[in-house]
Every structure is written in structure tokens, then in C-alpha cells.
């Protein structure tokens, strides 16, 4: 391999290392905003995008947004007039589904409009990650090994109700890549460092 070839490989490797460095940065989504309702709401933070959809039982519902974050409502939802269209179980067990454009790890979620006995459940790609009480801080932290693309915030009982005000996620793969261990794993910093050192040595050899 000539000098030009080595330089080309080095530049490409640097680009790959830069890509992974960017995707490893956490993305913080703030869902609070002006009053709005839609079948689907889309949000983008940095190079991470998600689509929010709502469900009432097994039927599609509307996503409700206001200053307290995201909730769910639908035609005939009695709770929408008394609880600001929260994710609730009054008539149907409602859920808010966040679908990302790439595999991510959920680092934390912040909630609002929480009552004394309210609880929530969280599923990642249809697998249960958490079910229980809200923390007193209203922000629940999670370990970074919950890699997935579809995160579902749900309720278990009629008297549960809340809104999702924001989340923090860490990208674990490229857009459109399924969330499998082989596809979603980001190279460790030590591995990238070794790759860089090897390429520097290769350049020196051909000088």
C-alpha cells in the first residue's frame, strides 16, 4: 500500500471514530410546549429523532402536549377534562409510545402531574424494564443497558395518571439499524484509541 492509500485509510478511520464519538453523546428531549394534539408528534435532538404515538387499550389515540409534557387522549376520554390528558387508566389503559430512529439507551425520564398513589410501567421493545412507584424527585434514572428503539410508558390501574415531561437517551447505533447486540454496540473508547495509535504508527512507517 502506498502513502496515498495509507492516508486514505487513516482519514476514513478518523471519520468513523468521529461518528461514534458523536453518537455516544446523550440527547435530552424536553416535551413541554404549547397546547397541541396529533396522531403522531415528532421530535429531534441533535442527530437523534423520535416519533410519539398514543394508545388507549388496543386502539390508536392522540398525543396531547402542553406545558407539563406529553399525555394521551381520545374522543370520549372523560379523564381529558379533569386530568389534563395524562397517561391514565380511567376508561382505557393508556400508553405513550416513543419510537426512535436508531437504538438508544434510556438514561432518565422526568414526569409531571403525579398523584400520591400513581405508578407507571416502562417497556423497551415490548420487554418490561420497570414497573412501580415514581421517585420523589419525579426523575427516574435507568442503567444504560436497556438498548432499544421502542419505549412504551404505560399504566397498570385505573387510578394511575401522569405525563412524561422529558427524557435523556444515549445513542447506541446508527439510524435504521435494528437494536441487536452486534449492531447496536458502540466501540469502547479504549478500542478506538488503539485503532488510532495503530494508524499513526502505520503512517510513520511509510514516511
- pLDDT tens digits, 42-90: 999 999 999 999 999 999 999 999 999 999 998 877 666 556 689 998 8
Q: Alpha carbon of 4 to those of 8, 49, 55, 202, 203: distances in Å?
A: 6, 37, 56, 12, 10
Q: Which domain holds residue 55?
A: 30-185
pLDDT band at 159 (very low <50, low <70, confident <90, very high): confident
Please tell me the predicted confidence (pLDDT) of residue 162.
94
Count of CB atoms within 10 A of residue 76's CB?
9
Report the CATH number at residue 173: 2.60.120
Grid cell locating 3 = 502513502
Whole-prediction pTM: 0.73
**Do 160 and 190 fall within a single domain?**
no
**Do 36 and 128 fall within a single domain?**
yes
**Do 61 and 140 fall within a single domain?**
yes
Amino acid at each position: 500500500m502506498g502513502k496515498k492509500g495509507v492516508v486514505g485509510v487513516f482519514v476514513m478511520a478518523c471519520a468513523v471514530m468521529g461518528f461514534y464519538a458523536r453518537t455516544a453523546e446523550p440527547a435530552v428531549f424536553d416535551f413541554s410546549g404549547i397546547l397541541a394534539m396529533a396522531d403522531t408528534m415528532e421530535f429531534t435532538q441533535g442527530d437523534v429523532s423520535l416519533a410519539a404515538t398514543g394508545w388507549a387499550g388496543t386502539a390508536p389515540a392522540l398525543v396531547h402536549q402542553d406545558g407539563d409534557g406529553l399525555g394521551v387522549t381520545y374522543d370520549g376520554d372523560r379523564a381529558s377534562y379533569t386530568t389534563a390528558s395524562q397517561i391514565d387508566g380511567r376508561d382505557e389503559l393508556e400508553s405513550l409510545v416513543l419510537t426512535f430512529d436508531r437504538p438508544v439507551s434510556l438514561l432518565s425520564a422526568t414526569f409531571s402531574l403525579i398523584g400520591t398513589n400513581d405508578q407507571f410501567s416502562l417497556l423497551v421493545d415490548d420487554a418490561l424494564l420497570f414497573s412501580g412507584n415514581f421517585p420523589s424527585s419525579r426523575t427516574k434514572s435507568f442503567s444504560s443497558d436497556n438498548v432499544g428503539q421502542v419505549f412504551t410508558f404505560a399504566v397498570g390501574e385505573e387510578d394511575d395518571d401522569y405525563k412524561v415531561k422529558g427524557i435523556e437517551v444515549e445513542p447506541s447505533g446508527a439510524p435504521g439499524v435494528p437494536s441487536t447486540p452486534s449492531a447496536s454496540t458502540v466501540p469502547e473508547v479504549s478500542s478506538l484509541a488503539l485503532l488510532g495509535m495503530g494508524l499513526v504508527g502505520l503512517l510513520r512507517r511509510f514516511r
